[in-house]
Amino acid sequence: MDELLKEIYNEHLGMVGEGHVADYIPELAAIDPNQYAIAVTTIDGQEYMIGDYETRFTIQSISKVFTLALLMKQMGEDIWHFVGREPSGTTFNSLIQIEQEKGIPRNPFINAGALVITDRIINYNSKPKHVILEFIRELAGSDDIYFDKAKALSEFDTSYTNRSLAYLIKSFGNIDNDIEEVLDVYCHQCSISMNVVELAKSSLFLANSGRNIYNGNQIISPTATKRINSLMLTCGLYNEAGEFAYRVGLPGKSGVGGGIVAILPGKLSIAVWSPELNKHGNSYRGISTLEAFATKLGISVF
């Protein structure tokens, strides 16, 4: 595995300059686009890593996987009364679908769906930001994970589209709490900073039928785990989900910070980080890395 990661890493080291880093949040625009890291963790406790694996980045939309898991743990299947499970077919922050489908977001991984999930987490937890952070710390087996408060604030100040989405959903009655509070929690969850090793570790329960190998806790049921994986496969990469399933063939979730995590059920989790994004908002070097990884190992869920 060490050899394989080294091979893939070297093949991709020069793959920069074909996209641009996220710039809609001022704090994200300043990042060095050359940074690149890969980490693999296996359910029997092995860890492999290469590149800038000690550097932390904000997980952004990858946090949607964790908040979904947290709320599924707290609410169970009732969650599907207020958010759907179908691919969205439009861009990740589109308002059209919300207007046409009366305030029910298509799935938990578009921004609209994640805002609704966050709203319900606020309902169920008196200190929602604290609870989300502690949940991710438990998953990663580490207390050394934090919000990047500057990025949270930067995103909060410029979240016009997300505020528009949130107010639209509220106009249909599908958000309970004050929009500014929902946005505050949401921007904090997006700002959680991890390196690729921490990201791979915190996602490993999804490869292990929902059980955390670091403390032995069953986080969510095996069935719930399969369902999150199926959602990641069909909806995890915005408008590029089909392409990702086609090229990589693993459940995955990306964030505009340049991170992507993917799951091989029963085996391992892999996290990649490379800040430059393609037109769909996904790290193109990250996708190419995962495609090489899946192809060279001959792995795929299909």
Task: Give 269-280 as a DSSP string.
Answer: EEEEE---B-TT
Please, are residues 230 and 108 in contact by the beta-carbon 8 Å criterion? no
Residue 206 DSSP class? G
Residue number with CB closer to its own copies (244 or 273): 244
Element (H, E) at 51: strand 47-51
Check binding of 246 to its own copies (CB under 8 A). yes
Candidates 58-66, 132-140, 221-229, 254-262 — which segment interacts with its own copies by CB under 8 A?
A: 221-229
Bridge partners, residue 147, by sequence: 192
Tell me the number of residues near its own copies by CB under 8 A: 47
**Side chain identity at 108, as an amino acid letter?**
P
Check binding of 233 to its own copies (CB under 8 A). yes
| Strands 146-147, 268-273: pairing kind | unpaired
> In angstroms, what is the minimal distance from the CB of 63 to its own copies?
21
Q: Dig out the tokens for 97 from the structure.
A: 């679908």
Bridge partners, residue 240, by sequence: none
Please, are residues 83 and 113 in contact by the beta-carbon 8 Å criterion? yes
3-state helix, strand, coil in the chain (%, to 5): 50, 15, 35
> In angstroms, what is the minimal distance from the CB of 203 to its own copies?
14
Check binding of 267 to its own copies (CB under 8 A). no
Check binding of 165 to its own copies (CB under 8 A). yes
Check binding of 227 to its own copies (CB under 8 A). yes
> In angstroms, what is the minimal distance from the CB of 243 to its own copies?
6
**b/e 281-301 (16+ beta carbons within 10 angstroms → b):** bbbbbbbbbbbbbbeeeebee
Candidates 47-55, 122-130, 143-151, 235-243 — which segment interacts with its own copies by CB under 8 A?
A: 235-243
Check binding of 23 to its own copies (CB under 8 A). no
Binding string, residues 93-132; x marks residues near its own copies by CB under 8 A: -xxxx-x------xx-------------------------
Candidates 40-48, 92-100, 187-195, 213-221 — which segment interacts with its own copies by CB under 8 A?
A: 92-100
Question: CA–CA separation, 93 vs 165, rounded Å?
Answer: 8
Check binding of 234 to its own copies (CB under 8 A). yes
Interface contacts to its own copies, rule CB under 8 A: 84-90, 94-97, 99, 106-107, 160-161, 163-168, 170-171, 179, 225-227, 229-231, 233-235, 239-243, 245-246, 249, 251, 265, 300-302
